[in-house]
């Protein structure tokens, strides 16, 4: 996906999700189906490492964000900086840019929802990455040149930042009740966007980018064999 179209697609997804929020609830207050039933309903199998029963909306969200982290690590771990910044056809988004971008989106959106500062600026990650972008940049609207400029010294830098954001996300999300999820967080849309819709939007966007990073890794590994 070209970097410049991310904002438009994300907003469209939020708008569509907001339209159905009155017809569906993230989870019944008296509990949800367990992991196996939830996954089977969507035609898949629950990973063996997630042998837990999901009983609240917050736990379902925590599980979803954990899956993003899992894919990020599989896409990044063991690759050199050159491979992380490789662009398979000279213009596709690199693994480094994709993982940086999806983590920045999660950091930015969760901090906004929680009313807190971003891990990027408060924990020194902005300085450690030393990218030629403003501290507020998340990758929305980035050009091909910006993707080229997203260079990292190691995969540990990417996964370290993602893990820090993931930990903050989990600490916030696991405290949420179903009533919290109905809170309006963005009135620029009709209907307005609730916290539930915003969190699902982040999950959707991040999983897509993590999957893209994993796909790029597969191509790169075939090319270097």
pLDDT in tens, 138-187: 999 999 999 999 999 999 999 999 999 999 999 999 999 999 999 999 99
pLDDT of residue 24: 34
Q: Which of 208, 178, 215, 183 is nearest to 64 (CA)?
A: 208
User: Where does residue 204 rank: exposed (0-12), middle (13-18), buried (19+ CB within 10 A)?
Assistant: middle
H helix intervals, 41-94: 57-76, 81-84
Containing 207, the helix (H) or strand (E) segment is helix 195-223
What is the C-alpha to C-alpha distance for residues 27 and 36, in angstroms, rounded to an integer? 15
Tell me the average pLDDT across 103-130.
98
Q: Report in angstroms the alpha-carbon separations of 95 from 58, 63, 81, 88, 201.
A: 29, 23, 10, 10, 21
Tell me which of 5 and 50 has the higher pLDDT. Answer: 50
CATH of 3-223, one of 3.40.50.300, 3.40.50.10490, 1.20.120.450, 3.30.70.100: 1.20.120.450
Cα separation values, 99 from 77, 111, 133, 212, 217, Å: 12, 18, 16, 9, 12
Each domain of the chain, given as residue ranges in start order, spans 3-223
Whether the link from the prior residue into 191 is cis, omega within 30° of 0, is yes
Alpha-carbon gap, residue 168 to 174, rounded angstroms = 10
User: Which residue from 108, 135, 188, 145 is spatially nearest to 4, judged by alpha carbons?
Assistant: 145
pLDDT score, position 225: 74
CB-count exposure of residue 16 (10 Å: 0-12, 13-18, 19+): exposed
Q: Is residue 210 within 8 Å of 71, Cβ to Cβ? A: yes
Q: Label residue 16 by pLDDT band (50, 70, 90).
A: very low
Mean pLDDT lowest for which of 11-25, 140-154, 194-208? 11-25
pTM: 0.78
């Amino acid at each position: 996906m070209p970097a410049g179209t991310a904002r438009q697609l994300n907003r469209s997804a939020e708008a569509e999700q907001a339209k159905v929020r009155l017809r569906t609830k993230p989870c019944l207050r008296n509990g949800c189906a367990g992991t196996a039933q939830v996954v089977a309903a969507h035609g898949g199998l629950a990973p063996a490492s997630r042998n837990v029963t999901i009983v609240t909306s917050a736990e379902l969200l925590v599980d979803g964000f954990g899956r993003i982290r899992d894919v990020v690590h599989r896409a990044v771990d063991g690759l050199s900086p050159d491979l992380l910044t490789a662009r398979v056809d000279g213009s596709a988004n690199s693994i480094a840019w994709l993982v940086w971008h999806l983590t920045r989106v999660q950091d930015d959106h969760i901090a906004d929802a929680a009313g807190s500062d971003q891990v990027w600026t408060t924990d020194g990650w902005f300085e450690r990455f030393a990218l030629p972008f403003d501290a507020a940049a998340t990758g929305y609207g980035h050009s091909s040149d910006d993707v080229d400029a997203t260079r990292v010294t190691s995969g540990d830098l990417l996964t370290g930042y993602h893990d820090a954001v993931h930990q903050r996300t989990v600490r916030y999300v696991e405290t949420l009740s179903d009533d919290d999820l109905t809170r309006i967080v963005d009135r620029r849309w009709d209907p307005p966007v609730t916290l539930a819709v915003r969190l699902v939007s982040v999950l959707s966007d991040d999983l897509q980018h993590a999957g893209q990073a994993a796909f790029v890794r597969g191509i790169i590994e075939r090319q270097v064999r």
